[in-house]
Structure 1
């Protein structure tokens, strides 16, 4: 077997093994004291985050190490797994917030947006601090030229995701930030969605407009992200009809759609086109219907708990891990065994550090805030 085909499974397995070890060590004790309402969604979120890490595994090159046999052969389909991970994130966000509004249309929107800011900002601030520090170090100074870019970055990527000086471009460290503006814009229209859901007539009007817009977007462009929030909302409607009804056909449906979406990563279709929308929607609906117990397993729930840290920090950790390793090992072309040893060591470091950033940066703010629903990248179950 070509060594490149082991890359994604190896990364996924290593993340699961380390999360299993940490969950048994009870590094995050609150997981032992509370039962998530949607444990299977926590697990799915964790898988989605690791799929994005797999998509960026080529960044081993940026450490100064290369292996053409693995990276060049794997490069075609690995980014497709990253796109699938992002789509799952957005599906989860659409599902959880649509369901929340459906069950309680009278939201305190001031508390809602404040809680979103408190949830996102602490870890995001650490990411920006790392970005500024690394850029200043490589530029050999913190000049006035860095101030406009730093201020822009404080807007959560809403004004762009480029950050560079005349001598160093740090934009490669924040490539994942492009999804955050979509999240914020979705939050911004939630009051409108809640208003449309206030009566049956406006609800039907809203869904009719949404379907027309969705079809228009999928027809006009092969890059669409908004549509996956709709996928989540569709799953929420399905869940309201089939909640607590588990049937063998739902499990078969889940297995079939899982096989289909994995297979789609190996074929040449647009990463955000209508084909991927259909597959991701069917897959996510099947998850909601089947509620697979395997996704509620301890290591996957743990992985879901630290998923925001993994998503936001993993590119920085590629850079910092590489900078550390180069102090002891000469960079250059490396063999397959050395490559996998290096990459799996990175996985161990990433899970360890992201567990700490969750525990000491994210969780203190979560514990103090008013509980609100989960979302795909940045939320989890209620704190005790």
Structure 2
């Protein structure tokens, strides 16, 4: 059965990446301040303080959802892992090198650079290592584990009775939302503290927010919700109400303890938004995000996610440590976003897309596909066999 494209979810990837961009723009790392006005500086930093966490959680849940939606019935583990590798790693390596060249080399130990190259920085309980070289790329270290685990997770979750999916979804949500409580209870709170997060140590943050086995729950939740939507077991509240709920939950996240803001408060609305827009796509209904410009931005969003911090850091390095008036600061952020989009477009067009087209299938698979196409073309009219597996062209995410 051919499933519809999830163009809205592709389009939604860019706003999620933009949230991460705004969070990093507010940090101005390592320059700390951006605006001359304390009110503007503090207000901007406060407004987007949880935007990065929301965007990352959205991507983790979305990844599980979309990979489940696009799963191929006769796929092999090796073929799946190959497609994921050629889509993710070339962009990752290019931006790893670009970050080192432009700004990161002077603040990165050689062993940290090597860990980053192999996506292992997330396994060290050290804040500086987790976010070394190109800081947003830490999430790809978690995604690598998700991709390794997906074939087995998918097979296991496929076996769950559709009527019992709601219990599994509720249990997984509860486990994620209770992660901060467990973390504060079992992980020592001493040592280095998270900036602006009273009472949260960097080790607690690493355990609850960065460590791949913990974040695997977010990915598994996406798989479960996708199965519920696909089997007609999901109660959809619609795109408007789910979006309003997400906005309201973000307001709450700005005013609660750090780890709860990062891991718990926005989780259910994120799930509702993903399921609601997928349902609209399944019914071929228009949304704000399944138009051509938004789909294009969504397609380059992975490159944008990896490129944007490099643009932010290098541009501030070129401009020096000066502070800016509010209008100039806003214009600077907008210009950095535009430059990030243009560089992302180039990275997508010159690296991601051609490498994916060239290497996502093995030579043997391509030869078999070509042979099948030739046989179908040679078959007598009216007797062509159309029972083979179909290529589900849906929005694959990172």
Mark yes or no: TM-score above 0.5. Answer: yes
Superposition CA RMSD, Å: 3.4
The answer to whether the aligner puts 1:66 opposite 2:56 as a matched pair is no
The equivalent residue for 2:323 is 333
1:135-170, Cα deviation, whole Å (9 max, x unpaired): 67637xxxxx94422321221135449798xxxx99
Q: Which runs of 5+ in 2 are unaligned?
A: 182-207, 210-214, 362-390
Deviation at residue 52 of structure 1 after TM alignment: 0.9
Give me the TM-score of the superposition, normalised by structure 1: 0.72
Mapped to 2, the partners of 1:318 and 1:59 lie a distance apart of: 10
Match among 97, 108, 115 for residue 152 of structure 1: 115
Deviation at residue 89 of structure 1 after TM alignment: 0.9
Q: Give the stretch that moved more between structures: 210-219 or 126-135.
A: 210-219
What SS class does the counterpart of residue 360 from structure 1 fall into? Answer: helix
The equivalent residue for 1:88 is 58
Mapped to 1, the partners of 2:160 and 2:300 lie a distance apart of: 39
Aligned residues: 321
**1:109-124 paired onto structure 2 within 5 Å:** 109-124=77-92
Deviation at residue 113 of structure 1 after TM alignment: 1.2
The answer to whether the aligner puts 1:257 opposite 2:227 as a matched pair is no
Mapped to 1, the partners of 2:266 and 2:118 lie a distance apart of: 30
What SS class does the counterpart of residue 66 from structure 1 fall into? Answer: coil
**1:271-350 paired onto structure 2 within 5 Å:** 271-291=261-281, 292-326=286-320, 331-350=321-340
What SS class does the counterpart of residue 79 from structure 1 fall into? Answer: coil
1:313-366, Cα deviation, whole Å (9 max, x unpaired): 11111111223334xxxx423211211222211122111111111111211112
Q: Which runs of 5+ in 1 are unaligned?
A: 1-35, 140-144, 378-384
Deviation at residue 295 of structure 1 after TM alignment: 0.6
Mapped to 2, the partners of 1:294 and 1:209 lie a distance apart of: 31
Retained in 2: the 8 A contact 1:152–1:160?
no
- Change in CA separation of 1:146 and 1:135 when aligned onto 2, cut-off 3 Å: farther
- Change in CA separation of 1:228 and 1:325 when aligned onto 2, cut-off 3 Å: same
What SS class does the counterpart of residue 49 from structure 2 fall into? Answer: helix
What SS class does the counterpart of residue 76 from structure 1 fall into? Answer: helix
Deviation at residue 259 of structure 1 after TM alignment: 1.2
Match among 17, 38, 47 for residue 77 of structure 1: 47
The answer to whether the aligner puts 1:375 opposite 2:396 as a matched pair is yes
Mapped to 1, the partners of 2:354 and 2:262 lie a distance apart of: 36
Deviation at residue 125 of structure 1 after TM alignment: 0.9
Mapped to 2, the partners of 1:358 and 1:160 lie a distance apart of: 30
**1:155-234 paired onto structure 2 within 5 Å:** 155-156=118-119, 157-160=121-124, 171=131, 173-197=133-157, 199=159, 212=171, 214-221=173-180, 223=208, 225-234=215-224
Deviation at residue 191 of structure 1 after TM alignment: 2.5
Match among 100, 119, 142 for residue 132 of structure 1: 100
Mapped to 1, the partners of 2:34 and 2:180 lie a distance apart of: 37
Mapped to 1, the partners of 2:133 and 2:27 lie a distance apart of: 10
- Change in CA separation of 1:86 and 1:136 when aligned onto 2, cut-off 3 Å: closer
